[in-house]
Amino acid sequence: MQRKDFSWGLWCFLLLTVLILLGLYSLPSELLGVKLKRVDLLSALRREESTDLQIQTAEEIFAKDKNETPSIATDSIPLLEQEEVARRQALAEEYTIANAQQDTLSAGSKVLIQDYSEHRDALHHAVDALDQKKRLRIAVLGDSFIEGDIFTYDLRRLLQRQFGGYGVGWMPITSKVANFRKGIQHSFEGWKTLSVISHNKGKYFFGETYFIPTAEKAIVKYQWTEGLGKVSSAEIFYSSSEPLLLTTGGSEEAIDSIYLSPSSTITAHRVALSRDKVSFTFHQAKGATLYGIALENNPSGGGVTVDNFSLRGSSGISLANIDPSTALSMDKLRHYQLIILQYGLNVIEKERLNYTTYAKRMVHVISTLKRLFPTSDILVMGVSDRAGNLGNGEKGTMKAVLALREAMRGVAMQCKVAYWDTYEAMQTGGGMVQFVAEGKAAKDYTHLSFSGGRYLASKFVESFLIEKDIYQQSKR
C-alpha cells in the first residue's frame, strides 16, 4: 500500500510564513499610538533607502528663522571665528606635552574641544584649579556607554598620572555591573535601589539613584587594586532622620563603631583608611538614605578626581528635575569644577533624523545645571559612533548618529559651553566597525570595551591638554 505524501502541507506552511513575514514589513511604524518595530526578512540583503529628509546642521536646529541659510558649512566648526579656528588648529599641530607619559596620547588626528563660550574660556574653572594646585573634580554623567567605569577608568588614570591624585572617586552602594568594573571589587547586601527611571519622585543628585537599607545589617564592601594608588579616605554621603550606627572592618581586622549624626539634607562623613579594602555595615538604619561613597586620597593635596555617574537607559533629560536643595548641599560638600555630559545613545532611532525636541530638552537640562552650579564648567560629549546594517552584509555608521551629532553640537552652541566630538574621535581609530573588529567595542556595534574606552580616553585627555594650553596662552 502506497503511503500518502503530506510534505506539500509543510511547504505550504513555510510559504505562508514567509508571505506573512514579508507582509509585516509593510506595517506602519506606529499603530493606534503604539510604536512598532519593523520586521524585515530581507534586511541583510536590503540597502537602506535614501531619504529626502536632510540632516539639520547645528545652526539650523536653533535658528529663529527657519528659512535662514546658515553662513557656515556643515562640516565646519560653527560660531568660532575663522581666525580662532586657524589659531587652535595651528596650536594643536605644534603642541607637545612636556613630561607627558607615553600612553597619554593616542595615534590618529587630534580632535579639538570646541569652545562656544562668550569669552572662549569654557573650561577656565577646571584649568584654574590645576594651575592653582587645587583638587580638580570632574563628574562624568552618562548612560550605559560609560557603565562599569568604561572610558572614565582610563580618563581618571591618565589625568591622575599627569596631575596627581589617587582613588576611584564616587562609588554607588549597589551596582548591576559590580563584577564587571575594573580596578575595584564591590559587593553588597541588604539594600533597595531606587533610580529616576523606576521611581521619579525621589530627591536625586547626579547619579539619579539612591539606596535604602532593607535589612538590620546593610553591608557594602570595596577592595581596590594597586593601580588606584593610596586611598586614604572614604567619604559617606547620606541623609537620615535618626543617628546611624556604622561599623567598619571585619573578621580580619578590628571593628570600629561610628555614630553618624542625623541630617534631613544630604551630608557627609569621612572615614580614614589604611588598607586596600573597606567594609561598612549600617545597623538598623531605618529612615536612612545613602547616595554613595567616595574613595580617594586627601583632597587638600591637589590632583584630579573623576567620578562616574552612569545610569543605564538614561537620555539625560531627567537631569532637569534633580532636586535643587540636594544639588546645592552636594555642591558644598563635593564641588565639581567640570561636569561632562555623555548622552544620546538611548534616543537614536534608525529612521529618525530630526532630534530638535531632544536637543531643546537638553538645553533645558544644561540651563538647570548652570543655574545650580554657576562655578562649574560644562562640556557636552557628542554622541558616539554606532553602526547599523547597510545591506549586503555591510555595516556602517547609522545616519541617525550623524543627525544627533549635529543636534548635540547645537545644544553646546546654544548653551555656550564646551563640546567634544566623540564620533570624530572614534573615526580617528577607524570608527565603530573597526572598533568591533579590533575588540574595542561589543558586537552590538554600540558599546565600547575597556580597550575602546582606553582609546577614547586618551583622545579626550589629548584634547583637554591642548585646550588647557590654549587657555593659558590666552591669559598671557
Rounded Cα distance between 276 and 274, Å, is 7
284-322 tens-digit pLDDT: 888 899 999 999 987 677 899 999 999 999 999 999 999
120-161 tens-digit pLDDT: 999 999 999 999 999 999 999 999 999 999 999 999 999 999
Asked if residue 248 and residue 380 are part of one domain, the reply reads: no
Which sign, positive or negative, has the C-alpha torsion 406, 408, 411, 416? Answer: negative
Instruction: Report if residue 8 sits inside a domain.
Output: no
Of 300, 331, 357, which marks where a domain is finished? 300
- Mean pLDDT across 157-174: 94
204-239 tens-digit pLDDT: 888 889 999 999 999 999 998 866 678 889 999 999
CATH code at 202?
A: 2.60.120.1360
Quickly state the pLDDT bin for 101 (edges 50, 70, 90). very low
Whether the predicted pLDDT of 95 surpasses 70: no
Question: If you average pLDDT over every residue of the chain, what do you get?
Answer: 84
pLDDT score recorded for residue 17: 82
Instruction: Report if residue 25 sits inside a domain.
Output: no
Instruction: Report if residue 13 sits inside a domain.
Output: no
Rounded Cα distance between 145 and 448, Å, is 7
Identify which has the larger pLDDT, 34 or 126.
126
Rounded Cα distance between 89 and 112, Å, is 8
Asked if residue 426 and residue 306 are part of one domain, the reply reads: yes
Asked if residue 199 and residue 276 are part of one domain, the reply reads: yes
Please state the domain count of the chain. 2
Asked if residue 354 and residue 253 are part of one domain, the reply reads: no
C-alpha distance from residue 215 to each of 54, 181, 219, 248 (Å) = 56, 25, 9, 17
Whether the predicted pLDDT of 39 surpasses 80: no
Asked if residue 328 and residue 460 are part of one domain, the reply reads: yes
Instruction: Report if residue 43 sits inside a domain.
Output: no
Per DSSP, 334 falls in state S
Asked if residue 285 and residue 177 are part of one domain, the reply reads: yes
Quickly state the pLDDT bin for 33 (edges 50, 70, 90). very low
Instruction: Report if residue 12 sits inside a domain.
Output: no
pLDDT score recorded for residue 13: 79
Of 275, 300, 325, which marks where a domain is finished? 300
C-beta neighbour count of 115 within 10 angstroms: 26
**Domain carrying residue 177:** 166-300
Q: What percent of the chain has pLDDT over 70?
A: 80
pLDDT score recorded for residue 227: 67
Asked if residue 182 and residue 145 are part of one domain, the reply reads: no
Strand 244-248 with 209-213, pairing: unpaired
Of 300, 323, 350, which marks where a domain is finished? 300
Asked if residue 201 and residue 147 are part of one domain, the reply reads: no
Single out the residue of 460, 139, 130 nearest to residue 303, CA to CA: 130
Rounded Cα distance between 442 and 232, Å, is 35
Buried/exposed 42-53: b ≥16 CB within 10 Å, e otherwise: eeeeeeeeeeee
pLDDT score recorded for residue 5: 60
Quickly state the pLDDT bin for 260 (edges 50, 70, 90). very high
Instruction: Report if residue 2 sits inside a domain.
Output: no
Asked if residue 439 and residue 376 are part of one domain, the reply reads: yes
Whether the predicted pLDDT of 97 surpasses 60: no
Cell of 153: 577608568
**The residue type at 224:** W
Rg (CA), the chain: 25
Asked if residue 192 and residue 145 are part of one domain, the reply reads: no
pLDDT score recorded for residue 100: 42
Single out the residue of 305, 419, 401 nearest to residue 362, CA to CA: 419
CATH code at 159?
A: 3.40.50.1110
Quickly state the pLDDT bin for 103 (edges 50, 70, 90). very low
47-75 tens-digit pLDDT: 444 444 578 888 888 875 444 434 333 34
Asked if residue 464 and residue 333 are part of one domain, the reply reads: yes
Instruction: Report if residue 38 sits inside a domain.
Output: no
- Mean pLDDT across 262-288: 91
Instruction: Report if residue 21 sits inside a domain.
Output: no
37 CB-near residues (< 8 Å, 6+ apart)? none
Asked if residue 469 and residue 372 are part of one domain, the reply reads: yes
C-alpha distance from residue 115 to each of 78, 94, 222, 473 (Å) = 10, 19, 38, 15
Q: Do residues 381 and 342 touch, judged by C-beta distance below 8 A?
A: yes
